[in-house]
Structure 1
């Protein structure tokens, strides 16, 4: 029997190659980083837990509101700092030290093979290594309920 995290990684890998499209969440057609997480949720649970209002690409950066982080806390299980890495964890990134958290990915490999799957502007959904520069940007880890 596969774990919930392994199932999430398998679903995410099915989205690889989907073009990047802001506010979209359709496998093979277009998605952004939140849309990828929404698509995984739908595959596991069915209906999404809440209606997603329109959002800007800057994720409320001018107002300094942590909109994406707040939404993740409402719908996912936040892991304590220092929790062991496990495939399927949802990673929340702050792209600039002074900015709001505004990028999500799914941890797909751990240890020396650390990788994550994410929808990235200009690249679409890809599986990337998770080197130190990316790791430094992680501000929270979550798991699907």
Structure 2
């Protein structure tokens, strides 16, 4: 992703700051969850969503043989190694050991990210070592 695209992703993502948390929603200023935030940024930066998102559970401890969120992202976005993340990257977090990746954020700097968090809505916070070690997958937004 070029620098202009990275800045655009970050600018659009930050426009969602303060959006209340609402499970499975994706409306800037109205409500979203972490995936809804990523979907909204996609719509503004890339274009229409390429396929409908099926309902999903909020269980961060969910286990299973398939990384459904990562598989979906791979269908649309170039994957990069978690160690190679740069601002503007979409990151998927594994919130519990042995669980599948179920939380999404967008890097806004080398040590900061934006995400939607229950009870807090869309916030930007430091990418602390605790958050960084939970990154399971990373992707770049494609060109329009």
Quick check: TM above 0.5?
A: yes
- Is the CA contact (8 Å cut-off) linking 2:114 and 2:124 kept in structure 1? yes
Matched position secondary structure for 2:51: coil
Long gaps (5+) in structure 1: none
Query: In the TM superposition, what is the alpha-carbon distance from 1:141 to its structure 2 partner?
Result: 1.1
Find the counterpart in structure 1 of residue 122 from structure 2.
Answer: 125
Find the counterpart in structure 2 of residue 38 from structure 1.
Answer: 39
Query: In the TM superposition, what is the alpha-carbon distance from 1:82 to its structure 2 partner?
Result: 3.3
2: CA distance, partners of 1:81 / 1:54: 26
TM-score (norm 1): 0.90
Q: Superposition pairs for residues 2-41 of structure 1, below 5 Å? A: 3-41=4-42
Long gaps (5+) in structure 2: none
Query: In the TM superposition, what is the alpha-carbon distance from 1:66 to its structure 2 partner?
Result: 1.5
- Is the CA contact (8 Å cut-off) linking 2:64 and 2:99 kept in structure 1? no
2: CA distance, partners of 1:56 / 1:72: 17
Name the Cα RMSD after superposition: 1.8
1: CA distance, partners of 2:60 / 2:95: 11
Find the counterpart in structure 2 of residue 55 from structure 1.
Answer: 56
Q: Superposition pairs for residues 67-82 of structure 1, below 5 Å? A: 67-82=68-83
Matched position secondary structure for 2:83: coil
2: CA distance, partners of 1:63 / 1:5: 33
- Pairing 1:99–2:99 present: yes
Q: For this pair of structures, how many residues does the alignment match?
A: 141
